[in-house]
Amino acid sequence: MIKKEDFFKLLVAHCKEYGFIFPSSDIYDGLSAVYDYGQMGIELKNNIKQYWWREMVQYNENIVGIDSAIFMHPTIWKASGHVDAFNDPLIDNKDSKKRYRADVLIEDHIAKIEDKVNKEVEKAKKRFGDAFDEEKYKTTNERVMKYISEINDIKTKMTNALNDNDLAALRQLIVDLKIVCPISGTCNWTDVRQFNLMFSTQIGSVNEDASLLYLRPETAQGIFVNFLNVQKSGRMKIPFGIAQIGKAFRNEIVARQFIFRMREFEQMEMQFFCKPGTEIEWFKYWKEKRLKWHLALGMGEDNYRYHDHEKLAHYANAATDIEFKFPFGFKEVEGIHSRTDFDLSQHAKFSGKKIQYFDSETNESYVPYVIETSIGVDRMFLTVLSHAYTEETLTDGSTRTVLKFPPLLAPMKAAVLPLVKKDGLPEKAREIMDMLKYQYMCQYDEKDAIGKRYRRQDAIGTPYCITVDYQTLEDNTVTIRERDTMSQDRIAIDNIPSVIAQRMKL
């Protein structure tokens, strides 16, 4: 069992050693909260994007994809509310001079109380065995009830302070809860201030002509401003969706936990346009549908939960997060938001264009309502990676580090390995590699002893190792080794592609 505090150190080191993720500008000592994906990382990332695109665009006749530019007209961000309201409440500790997000300090405090609840529950589970009823325990055990009521009280106070933009109340809550700076250990806090998260740059070569641009903080606005283009050119009928995958940028002040919160990251967003009045029904539909997409990867139902928002963004009339149980606790991986007609109406107002949908069946025009599904590629990457990372002690006492990726997402689907580097085995293995590579990402490896090569494939999460041995030359069979169980079967060479497909449940 890896200790929580060691987990990230090990994961970050593993990602660098095996070509998943490197710090950006590594030879210049990196750039904070910016990362590069290496040769394995890009494969996993592409597979995640493909898994999303297939589900959202390919399987739905009424959802189409686009790829809008990162640079957009600056008025878009005024219209969307980002210039005025895309802020984080920040607070500094006067002793350590460290800056924090006030809401994150409070959330971390809540997480500590939640940890206490979980510990009590675990203890009781052990004590009561099969007869244990968690819900009943939480509503009857006095100590646990006290913790839960404390959590609810803090949440209410924080939500109210954020909703009312009452920064003094937010600071007071931090002081009242005796939250200290993790560096200085003191409670010597400044006032809370709002800080806009958008990066800005300039377009145009000469100072006088140059105008201020923002790097998009979400891909969604590129969809809204193309609503009419796509609807008209695609003759789309409501309800329909527009999806896109692309980079987004946020000047996160509290950037931490590896790729969980980055300054440059990628989003997979879909805006679903529907008739006003039907939005809550569609909100529920997408809420369920998106959770199913996560669960289908087989990373454990218990590792997911919904978190319905109490504090709604300025544009939303309902919102929920799908949270995943990361090593540092349950955190948001995807948001589903009912954005009303806010964005389209704002763009109509600021651009002076009429942005409406004409329903030819009812002969009426209206501004569609929108349900958004929004997930970070990198954050999804971290769910898959942190769930997959395992250190095992084997029966012979040796250890292995294995990435137990869902096979569908694994960077390499198979490795082709000649048992020895002589007697015609490499040539036979090359033939198999040439057959497989058109269908699957595969690696050929003939260097080092076979055991060492298996470990290398385990470390990058390859689900199947195909080994060519002397028997292969006699009867055209190979062994196929399963990554997780390490069990081996002998199969005919001709059957390799179909066996892989079957085992991957393709």
Q: Which chain residues interact with ligand GAP by CB under 6 A?
A: 218, 220, 250, 252, 261-262, 265, 267, 269, 332-335, 372, 374-376, 378-379
CA distance 239 to 228: 14
Q: Tell me the closest approach of the beta carbon of residue 389 to ligand GAP, in angstroms.
A: 19
Question: In terms of CB distance, is 270 or 465 closer to ligand GAP?
Answer: 270
Looking at the Cβ atoms of 250 and 387, the one nearer to ligand GAP is 250
Q: What's the token pair of residue 177?
A: 């809860």
- Give CA–CA dist 35/51, Å, rounded: 22
Q: What is the CA radius of gyration of the chain?
A: 26
> Closest approach of Cβ 39 to ligand GAP, in Å?
22
In the complex, the smallest distance separating the C-beta of residue 433 from ligand GAP, rounded to whole angstroms, is 36
Nearer CB in complex with ligand GAP: 250/453: 250
Q: How far is the CB of 475 from ligand GAP (least distance, A)?
A: 50
Our CB check for ligand GAP shows the closer of 386 and 443 to be: 386
Question: Which of the 8 DSSP states describes residue 396?
Answer: T
CB-nearest residue to ligand GAP: 376
Q: Is residue 479 within 8 Å of residue 490, measured between CB atoms?
A: yes
Shortest approach of ligand GAP to residue 86 CB, angstroms? 9
Q: What is the 3-state secondary structure (H, E, C) of 411-453?
A: CCCEEEEECCCCCCHHHHHHHHHHHHCCCCCEEECCCCCHHHH
Q: Which is nearer to ligand GAP, 45 or 261 (CB)?
A: 261
Take residue 371 and report the two structure tokens written for it. Answer: 């349900």
Q: In angstroms, rounded to a whole number, what is the distance separating the alpha carbons of residues 360 and 354?
A: 17
Q: Whole-number minimum distance, CB 376 to ligand GAP, in Å?
A: 3
If phi > 0 it is left, if psi is from -120 to 50 it is alpha, else beta; for residue 29 that is: left
DSSP symbol at 71: B
Nearer to ligand GAP, 379 or 404 (CB): 379
Taking the complex as a whole, the smallest distance from the CB of residue 377 to ligand GAP amounts, in Å, to 8
The Cβ of residue 393 has, within 10 Å, a number of other Cβ atoms equal to: 9
Please report how close the Cβ of residue 233 comes to ligand GAP at its closest, in angstroms: 23
101 forms beta bridges with: 90
**d(C-alpha 313, C-alpha 339), whole Å:** 9
> Whose Cβ is closer to ligand GAP: residue 18's or residue 265's?
265
- Name the residue nearer to ligand GAP (CB basis): 109 or 263: 263
- The three-state DSSP-derived secondary structure of 205-264 is CCCCCCEEEEECCCCHHHHHCCHHHHHHHCCCCCCEEEEEEEEEECCCCCCCCCCCCCCE
Q: Minimum distance between the CB of residue 255 and ligand GAP, rounded to whole angstroms?
A: 7
C-beta of 269 vs 469, nearer to ligand GAP: 269
Q: Any idea which residue has 């800056």 for tokens?
A: 99
* Cβ proximity of 98 and 256 under 8 Å: no
Closest CB 294 distance from ligand GAP, rounded Å: 12
CA atoms within 13 A on the CB side of 52: 26
Q: Is 154 or 319 the residue whose CB approaches ligand GAP more closely?
A: 319
**Residue holding tokens 């449940």?**
505
Beta carbons of 77 and 214 less than 8 angstroms apart: yes
